[in-house]
Amino acid sequence: QKEVEQNSGPLSVPEGAIASLNCTYSDRGSQSFFWYRQYSGKSPELIMSIYSNGDKEDGRFTAQLNKASQYVSLLIRDSQPSDSATYLCAVGYSSASKIIFGSGTRLSIRP
Amino acid sequence: DAGVTQSPTHLIKTRGQQVTLRCSPKSGHDTVSWYQQALGQGPQFIFQYYEEEERQRGNFPDRFSGHQFPNYSSELNVNALLLGDSALYLCASSQGQGAVYGYTFGSGTRLTVV
């Protein structure tokens, strides 16, 4: 069983709509959760971090965490063509001092 | 403020050769983690260095080794290269317990093994 699972996509969303990206993880001891954005040929860029159950908003981005369901999501409001990228879900285990990544979801925003 | 710097940016090696990749962490960061990212996949954790010691290791063979220097910079060495080692190698730095606060990535080294 993979430690962090994401739907590989591609997920196609019209410009201006809400894009919803989902992720599940297997280790209940996970303590920190991240969303990274990776443009083609570039390195990952941290866009959101969340540590407790509930929602965390930053501009057009909202991260949601449900530890009971072992589920993390990222909502992108008012999607723009520049949001087209691969979104990587990552989970941190502070006791192990490492971050594990999912395989990423490719998001395409169509004009 | 310099971010994470990696060198070289691209590299072509022949099967069986050895390669060394280099990383300088972001200013103020003392922990370096290395990842391998194959095309279309997520980054796979290779190992992490803190205080010049390997703290954690992922599921990679002993052909992959590393080092951290007193100035926190790090090297990744891969011996006896295989075609399957072709990938983007990412260095990530953090301050202290990076698993809590997330990592800052360098731009990566694209390794091609022929």
Contact yes or no for A7/A86 (Cβ under 8 A): no
Q: Model confidence at A1, in pLDDT bands (50, 70, 90)?
A: low
Q: Which residues of A touch B95 (CB under 8 A)?
A: none
Q: Is A43 an 8 Å CB contact of chain B?
A: yes
Which residues 48-67 on chain A approach chain B with CB closer than 8 angstroms?
49, 51
Partners of A85 in beta bridges? A107
Q: Which residue of B has its CA nearest to A94?
A: B99
Q: What is the pLDDT of residue A93?
A: 77
Residues 6+ apart with CB under 8 A from B94: B29, B31, B33, B101, B102, B103, B104
Chain A 82-111, CB below 8 Å of chain B: which residues? 88, 90, 92-94, 96-104
- Segment A38-79, tens digit of pLDDT: 999 999 999 999 999 999 999 999 999 999 999 999 999 999
